[in-house]
Amino acid sequence: MGLLDERKTDVGVIEGRFIKAKLQQYGEDVLKSSKKHRRINRFSSSKWDTGSISVSDNAVDYRILAPMRFVDMKTRKSRGYTRGTRKIPGGKKKKKNYPVHNKPTMVHKKFLVKSLSFGFTEEVKQQFRALAEKEDFTKI
């Protein structure tokens, strides 16, 4: 039996629902944590609140503003240039960083991996099986 055939069985469908639920929970947790970190660091403009999460079968699509990734960086690379009469040397420069993207994403990713690895127990299988049966009855 191939992987595609295995996904169509009862256990595969239940496992797919479990994965989708965990990914959805991960996305909501990341957005909530990121919003909390932005509020702590005084990002008051509404343009920073445009992040969104969408979950398909086995994938999470996390969309944020591009500048948010750069706000999170601790250093930046710059070329040497002259500002007026003062020469600025090139290389890595330290800058003020705000952990609004990478920290929430990576912290919650660690818990996602643990819950996907060890969270699919028999009790969880029974809960998702009951949920699947309830949804099948409502479709009829």
What is the chain's pLDDT, residue by residue, as a tens digit (140 residues)?
A: 565 566 566 667 788 888 999 999 999 999 999 888 888 888 888 888 888 889 987 888 988 888 887 787 777 777 777 777 777 777 777 878 788 888 888 888 999 999 988 988 889 889 888 888 887 755 54
pLDDT computed for residue 25 by the predictor: 93
Tell me whether residue 51 is in a domain: yes
Tell me whether residue 44 is in a domain: yes
Tell me whether residue 7 is in a domain: no
Q: How many CB atoms lie within 10 A of CB 87?
A: 10
Tell me whether residue 24 is in a domain: yes
Tell me whether residue 140 is in a domain: no
Distance in angstroms (rounded) separating the CA atoms of residues 50 and 46: 8
The domain of 90 spans 16-135
Collect all residues with Cβ–Cβ distance below 8 Å to 17 and sequence separation of at least 6.
128, 131, 132
Instruction: Dig out the tokens for 52 from the structure.
Output: 């969104």
pLDDT computed for residue 99 by the predictor: 81
Tell me whether residue 74 is in a domain: yes
Burial class (CB in 10 A: 0-12, 13-18, 19+), 77: exposed
Going along 5-120, which residue ranges are E strands?
52-55, 60-63, 75-78, 81-83, 86-88, 91-94
